Structure 1
Amino acid sequence: MALLEKSVGRRNFLKGTAAAAAAVAGAGLAGCAPKAKEESLSNTGADAKPHVVESDTAINEGAGKWVAAECWGNCGGRCLNKVYVVDGVVVRQKTDDFQDDTVETPQMRSCPRGHSLRQHIFGINRLKYPLKRKSWQPGGGDNSHGDKRGIDEWERISWDEALDYIAAELKRVYDNYGPRSVVNMGQEWNLLNLLGGRCQWNGTESYGNWFNAPIRIGTSVENGEYPNGMMANDRLDLQNADTIVLYGTNQGWHSAGNPAYYIRLAKEAGAEFISVGPDYNVTAAMMDAKWIRVRPGTDTVFLLAVAYEMIRLDEEKGDIVDWDFLHSYCVGFDAESMPEDAKLDENFRDYVLGAYDDTPKTPEWATRICGTPTEDITWFAGKLGKKDNVTLMHSYAPARYKGSIDLNQLMMTITCMGGHMGRPGNACGSSFNIESANGGPHLVTWGNVSLASSIPNPLEDPYICKPEIWKCILEGKYTCRGAYNGHYADPEVDNAFLMPQKEYEFDPRIIVSDFHNPLQATEDINLGIQAFRKMELVVEIDYHFTLTGQYADIILPCLSPWEGNLDKSQGDLELSTTGTLRISKKTNRDMVLALQPVVLPMYENKNETWIHTEIMKRLGLDPKEVFPISDIQAYYDKFAGATVVDDDGVTYKTLVTITQEDIDAWGVDGTPQEGVITLKEFLERGIYTMPRRPDDNLTHIAYKEFIEDPEANPRNTASGKMEIYCQSKADQINAIGYAKEPLKPYPTYHVTTYEESFSDFEGQQKSDYPFIMYQPHYLRRAHTNFDNNTWTREAFQNPVFINSQDAQEKGIQDGDTVLIFNETGKVLRKASVLETLVPGCIALPHGSRSYIDPESGIDYGGNENMLISAYHSQDPFFPQSDCYNSCLVDFELYDGDPIPDDVDKEPVMWTEA
């Protein structure tokens, strides 16, 4: 049965069982199979054979149409996908090909994750209708049967039943126990604020320790999200660098669209690359980078020694430290440049030279901890000298360790010592998410993409530090220390978001989650399961059956980002609020994506606006308070308000031409307008890219205005300069009252995870868990998204990466099954033995689905959060900081049966009673 035959049309496709869905996905897999193997697919999919099409040309001749499609994985690539839709089924995918691929207008090509999305949307784990756990009943207490969460069967219920249950339970719990009895683990349950508020977890997650300092020391937190965002130069200026340092980055995996291409162009222009970190990754190899080996979590130690060597080399031969820069644009480097608000008569230079602790931060001091050869430290210090154009591109991974509280301030200091700011080829900024390898303000912007009103949480001090969330739920008490991402932009309030810690007792009874998969994505899954089983109700909204859904009581199926309708002739207009309206604003500075529904809504799935509206109606609340405008109006508004920068690089003009016919077609409020591209053309292309050229007015040089005129363009600090000594930063952290010792205003050494891997560091006696386990982002998935796609599961095996020396000592060879364990949990993975990983650590890719054996407790899926506890992940100074890379484990050759490849395992499915 061919994909183009009516037998696999939309109606029959949606009637299919999970196995039938797998059969359709299997058909898509076999597009290049030999003709001799052509077979028809059975109705059940049990005997599915490869399906053959003679050529893509035969499919494309008028049978369907190409539609621009969203990739919502939040990896940062924000690439263009296009899908070929035939009778409501996506049968082919491709990427950006509408324009010539040039340096000025590069095609925004998607990675393997984006290319395999149709397997995800039409896969067998799609939720089709509301589900209730069989044993769960309303009313709380024993009715919940919490002990059966995760192992119970499911029963199909109607939307009315599901929504009635949820509304009634919310009313019962709020009336009897108050707002601290409800814990929100998503971002979209604003309706709870109309009921009196909710407890809300709060943690830095991706940013680790990189979030707090930038708003105090003189860098930035762009849009309240990205520390050091826009503080690297843009993609064209990378070609002006003599040296580019990839510090803890791997653009080829974490932002796998164009960023690696941008830095490759810099390589072709003559830039020398240096990769700093615990592994020599694919991006470093692609750039032929020199590898500076640094043990995981010891970067502060390494950079203190680099600073020492820059000072020493400058004294010996000169032209290393840019003293004019330090004294003109910075405060606190030495005694000559102290800020007026300094409370401590100490400075960074004298600390590095050992004046305050009798410990000069020499390479010999550092190498014992960070493992970097002394000659590499000296060489690297020389490469950062002021004579060369140096660009440092960092990710946040090095800040996801305990002991990294000063890392962001220290990296800024190292950059300032070489004067590498404010001029072409010189920069220091994040290479993360949409800012990866292309810093600067957006040249193309969306209009207002907000759908829901921002209703303040009326509950006093509702924030629970995320690393300790499960422990707090089980103990019935939490300590609020403020929100790490609160009023970040208010320079008038010294403690604008953090607060002195205050303890609360609470009685959590309901957990609600929204498209976040918190059980799989949060530290200590075993403890999380206990917390879930304690609840009286767990509600999960998602379009896929996740680990969180497995342990929920009621699952509400939402639309995937590919589903909706913009054509009145096909029914009511509808959009996915899971993706299209939530994250479509996140694109890099050169372009925006005109994302739209690909197929009509499937099964009984509803969008989240509808779900929350129906709950509010049952509770007697006014949905207009949360959703003052319709989804389609919000969708229109982002097009109508979109702008593009003019040739002067300063003023912005209207991007989209909109006619009255366009407005009438969507039934929205609006006024016709003239722009540079019509709405129809924009939707057909799926993308608008701002053309660039080397001599245009659009090149972004971070800090350029500040360097040219620091008095007219001061930094947002107490001194108006870059604060190597920052009293505000220290005061803010110390005011929490959490740390056992006060934080200094300038960067200093703190005990590292590597040292904690010893029971006696001085005596070099290893502990029971002597290996540091860090979690790189992996090309198979984006966080926990897309991990079930067959193609990428086959291409990327998700092993545990082990240094060859460590593997040899334990008798482990490549491909062996390895048991990784500590006091928190156990996981199994196949070994990938490498020379390109420093000894004493292992790398377990982030985000895989847990498959927990109920008898042994072993996770056969290899999820890193089975091994990470709050002890591992909570920073000793900044408790909202997720330092989950500070996980200590041991591993050994597994003495049981080898585990199969992930692609050969049956996925965990919801099973109806």
Structure 2
Amino acid sequence: MALLEKKVGRRNFLKGSAAAAAALAAAGISGCAPNQGEGEKLSGTGTDGMTPHTVASDAAVLDGGEWITVDCWGNCGGRCVNKVLVQDGVVLRQKTDDVDEDTLEHPQQRSCPRGHSMRQHVFNANRVKYPMKRKSWQPGGGENAHGELRGEEGWERISWDEALDYVADELKRVYNDYGPRSVVCMGTDWPVLNLLGGRLQWNSTESYGNWYNAPIRMGGSISSGLPDCGNNNDRLDMLNAETIVLYGVNPAWHNAGNASYYYRLAKEAGVQFVFVGPEYNVSASMLDARWIRVRPGTDTALLLAVAYEMIRLNNIDLDFLHKYCIGYDAETLPTGAEENFQSYVLGEYDGVPKTPEWASEICGTPVEDITWFAETIGAEHDVMLHHNYAPSRYRGTIDLPQLFLTVGCMGGHLGRSGNSVGATFSIEAGNGGHAEKLVRVGAVVAERATGKTAKNELEDSQMPKSTIWRDILAGHYTCYGDYRNGEIDNGFVGRDPKEYDFDPKIIVNDFHNPLQATEDINSGIAAFKKMDMIVNIDYRFTLTAEYADIVLPCFTAWEGNLDPAQGELDVATNGIIRMSKFQCNRDYALFPRPVVQPLFESKNEQWIYTQIAERLGFTGDDIYQTSSLQAYYDKIETAEYLDPADGVTYKRLVTITQEDIDAWGVNGEPQEGIISLADVLAAGKYQASRTEGDKLGHIGYADFVADPEANPRQSESGKIEIYCQSKADEINRMQHGPDALKPYPTFHETTWQQKDAGDYHFLMYQPHYLRRSHTAYDEGTWLREAWPNPVFISAEDAAVKGIASGDTVRVFNDAGAFLRIASVTETLMPGCIAVPHGARTYLDKEAGLDLGGNENMCVDALTQDDYFPTCNGYNSCLVDFEKYDGEALQPDCLFEPAIWTEE
């Protein structure tokens, strides 16, 4: 496939697709498979247009060149090692970490198939080559915008000066005439808008669900921006557990690098695994886990029954609860409180004991499984309770995070070896303790490296993402505060919700794909068509770009220049790339480099924003405190490693000379470390080695458990708050819930209980999938062939509907409809379907169908959480499905690529 050609014919596209299949067959699709190169290539000579062509030897290709560690920026949290072979500015091959011997003490940081396929992502036909304007769009707003034609017509190439002038002039007009609430930023950046008075922006717990609801107030934590992280023990201590519970966790798909390997090592050491969820997933199968099935979104009922059984069996650590917690029973209640958790579970307040029989009716878990689970995780055992956030991305789960922590405390599973309670997610997956990273980069100068002079000062600028399209169409929104960037938790501390009428005119976006990845695509398209101007900054032609007016191409982290002989030095500063550049698991840090010059006319985002600022009468210094290259250098300069001698002191990692500083033209001081700048860039990573019993381990809550008076939690009481009055007060202050929230965890009605009352009787949830990370990587034919785009249906439901694997299925509700190919399975509970998240939309407007199978065609604002309005409960989506009676859907690896056209 000619990946960098503007247009790709179907014949050539299919040839490339077949070549990818051969490459995968030769190289393997597992992140743990040895790198074999690309194997055979195909050329069209047979009856099917494709017959194999044998490559005699790779020697000619591999003779020369340099292997360089590169970024892998999809938002999966893996941050694995990917290396590319570069010769004369061309990427020839790709591999993963294979330099050091693979040992328990120093494991290779191998990448997953997504990382293996990055070449198809970077060098793809859907790259945006130069600035473009939608053909009929004109500045001035109103009818000039021809908004009704967004997504319907082609593009015309324009110069950078034309594009930047259009953007700056329209921003100036709208800010002058309508004010800052008329501009909505759906990316992470666009700092130039802050110079004009700020902007509206979405506010969401998209990844975290209700787990971002007051974790610190309850005595938990937020580590590296991740709620309830930093509390699990490190990878070596997982081998000391008796049982590890994976609650809604699927690392083989979600964190497909080393996390699964660490869990597998624990399994080989004799650890028993338990998986809790609606589907027996591939990670559970890999670890031979006992399956505790639970209907989607009903986990609160399950855990209340588990708590009941732990009490009945006297399998709780009452000493732990009395010493480290408040609110478990009457003895630990704070002053003035009258109700406690234990009495609620026993039914003393509502007359409903939370027995396994009561729960089973709701969650579908067999009564005997609930009792077994309660026995297994009780105080007599060494247990690690690891959760992901998926179980709380449902309505009715407002108290699930508090309840999960409560059950962990009932077993006393905090602060000691072989026991832990916390999130396993992203950089924390399978290796807890990221706050005590063994190698860290940029921690000393985080604000200097990424900070902006101008901040968004617009009061009440946060719009709930779950209702953002509806709010834009209505011209009215409610601000509940900033859930992440405010006071100790959630940002709505001590404030009431505020309502605003507004007149949205401009939507801007950078390096995200909000139209595709946000609930209710049809309403999103309607909102886009209402605008005076849509501007999208990205390197690929996404669905968001398809419905924009001005498309500005940025370059990727593979692009840039660190060689003065090749011209001006530069590195990428895209929002997600900047976030990911040095985020890795606890053991190591990446030092990636650009490997090719910026492709086509793509530019650094920092350059783009500076150019817009200058057209508005500002300078780059008004936005950025430092250049992109200086920020990149600063992170390397301040890289530190944790001294293994004491496990406390951080020391500088990299030796930097004045010659290094002069060569890069940056500000800095020479320093001594343990590896030279040249060597750390050549290696592309620095990894600490571990040994059993060393001083580099991490035990979550250890200091608190050792001395709670000297090391209090950040909660109001300094303890773990099973009864958390401040959480209840702040949730109730938002006036969003149907009734007053209790300070302790209770049961709330779920979507599952409501599903039989309406027209749509199946709950659709959207798991992450190994093929893509949100919408990233999905362009690659290798991944599309290896992992199709299914809808998973239980065998019981499929039999009733007359559906078999391979059939085309129509999924629908009042919001929209899409097609996918059925995968019928015995491993999914009946009454729900699983639709892997992130598929590209291929909209058939006449049929009212998405042929690409994007689940957000059916997810709408009705899934907003009942209590926490910034929680996206998108897994609480009710649908129906049927065998499609139209033309059968082809596997999407055979789809024409979604690329822009000037026609």
Normalised TM-score (structure 2): 0.95
The alpha carbon displacement at 1:461 in A equals 0.8
User: Does the CA contact (< 8 Å) of 1:770 and 1:889 recur in 2?
Assistant: yes
SS at match of 2:818: strand
The alpha carbon displacement at 1:674 in A equals 1.1
Q: How does 1:507-656 map to 2 (within 5 A)?
A: 507-578=503-574, 580-647=577-644, 648-656=646-654
User: Does the CA contact (< 8 Å) of 2:19 and 2:40 recur in 1?
Assistant: no
Question: How many pairs align?
Answer: 880
- Mark the CA change 1:238 to 1:548 in structure 2 (over 3 Å): closer, same or farther: same
**In the alignment, what sits opposite 1:289?**
289
* Separation of aligned partners in 2, 1:170 and 1:368: 56
Say if 2:331 is the partner of 1:336.
yes
**In the alignment, what sits opposite 2:31?**
none
User: Does the CA contact (< 8 Å) of 2:480 and 2:498 recur in 1?
Assistant: yes
- After superposition, give the CA deviation of every residue in 1:568-626 in whole Å (9 maximum; x if it has no partner): 10111111112553321321111100011011111000010010010011110121021
- After superposition, give the CA deviation of every residue in 1:118-142 in whole Å (9 maximum; x if it has no partner): 0111111111000100010001010
* Separation of aligned partners in 2, 1:117 and 1:720: 46
* Separation of aligned partners in 2, 1:49 and 1:610: 46
* Separation of aligned partners in 1, 2:524 and 2:735: 27
One-letter amino acid matched to 2:566 = Q
Q: How does 1:330-409 map to 2 (within 5 A)?
A: 330-340=325-335, 342=336, 344-409=337-402
* Separation of aligned partners in 2, 1:428 and 1:775: 25
One-letter amino acid matched to 1:693 = T
The alpha carbon displacement at 1:627 in A equals 1.3
- After superposition, give the CA deviation of every residue in 1:120-171 in whole Å (9 maximum; x if it has no partner): 1111111100010001000101000000001111000000000000000000
Instruction: Give unmatched runs, 5+ long, in structure 1.
Output: 315-319, 760-766
SS at match of 1:758: coil
Say if 2:502 is the partner of 1:506.
yes
Among 897, 903, 910, the alignment partner of 2:900 is 910
One-letter amino acid matched to 1:839 = P
User: Does the CA contact (< 8 Å) of 1:849 and 1:861 recur in 2?
Assistant: yes
**In the alignment, what sits opposite 2:855?**
864
* Separation of aligned partners in 2, 1:40 and 1:284: 41
**In the alignment, what sits opposite 1:706?**
704
- Mark the CA change 1:49 to 1:145 in structure 2 (over 3 Å): closer, same or farther: farther
* Separation of aligned partners in 1, 2:50 and 2:126: 18
SS at match of 2:878: strand
Among 735, 738, 741, the alignment partner of 1:737 is 735
User: Does the CA contact (< 8 Å) of 2:217 and 2:488 recur in 1?
Assistant: no
The alpha carbon displacement at 1:864 in A equals 1.0
* Separation of aligned partners in 2, 1:786 and 1:39: 23
Among 889, 898, 902, the alignment partner of 2:888 is 898
SS at match of 2:480: strand
The alpha carbon displacement at 1:272 in A equals 0.6
Normalised TM-score (structure 1): 0.94
Percent of paired sites with the same residue: 59
- Mark the CA change 1:851 to 1:741 in structure 2 (over 3 Å): closer, same or farther: same
The alpha carbon displacement at 1:439 in A equals 0.6
- Mark the CA change 1:473 to 1:278 in structure 2 (over 3 Å): closer, same or farther: same
* Separation of aligned partners in 1, 2:892 and 2:236: 40
One-letter amino acid matched to 1:335 = A
User: Does the CA contact (< 8 Å) of 1:409 and 1:747 recur in 2?
Assistant: yes
**In the alignment, what sits opposite 1:850?**
841
**In the alignment, what sits opposite 2:804?**
813
Among 32, 51, 61, the alignment partner of 1:59 is 61
- After superposition, give the CA deviation of every residue in 1:768-810 in whole Å (9 maximum; x if it has no partner): 1111100000000011100011111000002000000000010
One-letter amino acid matched to 1:460 = E
SS at match of 2:499: strand
User: Does the CA contact (< 8 Å) of 1:242 and 1:425 recur in 2?
Assistant: yes
* Separation of aligned partners in 1, 2:8 and 2:471: 38
Q: How does 1:827-838 map to 2 (within 5 A)?
A: 827-838=818-829
- After superposition, give the CA deviation of every residue in 1:502-531 in whole Å (9 maximum; x if it has no partner): 110100000000011100010000000000
User: Does the CA contact (< 8 Å) of 1:798 and 1:845 recur in 2?
Assistant: yes
**In the alignment, what sits opposite 1:324?**
319
* Separation of aligned partners in 2, 1:258 and 1:142: 53
User: Does the CA contact (< 8 Å) of 2:23 and 2:40 recur in 1?
Assistant: no
One-letter amino acid matched to 2:262 = Y
- Mark the CA change 1:861 to 1:559 in structure 2 (over 3 Å): closer, same or farther: same
- Mark the CA change 1:33 to 1:822 in structure 2 (over 3 Å): closer, same or farther: closer
**In the alignment, what sits opposite 1:299?**
299
User: Does the CA contact (< 8 Å) of 2:316 and 2:378 recur in 1?
Assistant: yes
- Mark the CA change 1:513 to 1:639 in structure 2 (over 3 Å): closer, same or farther: same
- Mark the CA change 1:21 to 1:571 in structure 2 (over 3 Å): closer, same or farther: farther
- Mark the CA change 1:522 to 1:730 in structure 2 (over 3 Å): closer, same or farther: same
**In the alignment, what sits opposite 1:267?**
267
One-letter amino acid matched to 1:279 = E
* Separation of aligned partners in 1, 2:360 and 2:517: 34
* Separation of aligned partners in 2, 1:758 and 1:173: 47
- After superposition, give the CA deviation of every residue in 1:37-57 in whole Å (9 maximum; x if it has no partner): 977799xxx988766532333
One-letter amino acid matched to 2:312 = R
The alpha carbon displacement at 1:488 in A equals 4.4
User: Does the CA contact (< 8 Å) of 2:185 and 2:201 recur in 1?
Assistant: yes
Instruction: Give unmatched runs, 5+ long, in structure 2.
Output: 27-37
**In the alignment, what sits opposite 2:874?**
884
SS at match of 2:207: helix
Say if 2:419 is the partner of 1:426.
yes
One-letter amino acid matched to 2:879 = V
Q: How does 1:191-202 map to 2 (within 5 A)?
A: 191-202=192-203
- Mark the CA change 1:214 to 1:14 in structure 2 (over 3 Å): closer, same or farther: closer
User: Does the CA contact (< 8 Å) of 2:482 and 2:491 recur in 1?
Assistant: no
SS at match of 1:482: coil
- After superposition, give the CA deviation of every residue in 1:489-548 in whole Å (9 maximum; x if it has no partner): 37xxx9655731111010000000001110001000000000000000000000000000
- Mark the CA change 1:76 to 1:498 in structure 2 (over 3 Å): closer, same or farther: farther
The alpha carbon displacement at 1:379 in A equals 0.6
User: Does the CA contact (< 8 Å) of 1:31 and 1:53 recur in 2?
Assistant: no
User: Does the CA contact (< 8 Å) of 1:730 and 1:745 recur in 2?
Assistant: yes
**In the alignment, what sits opposite 1:764?**
none
The alpha carbon displacement at 1:453 in A equals 1.0
- Mark the CA change 1:295 to 1:498 in structure 2 (over 3 Å): closer, same or farther: farther
One-letter amino acid matched to 1:423 = R
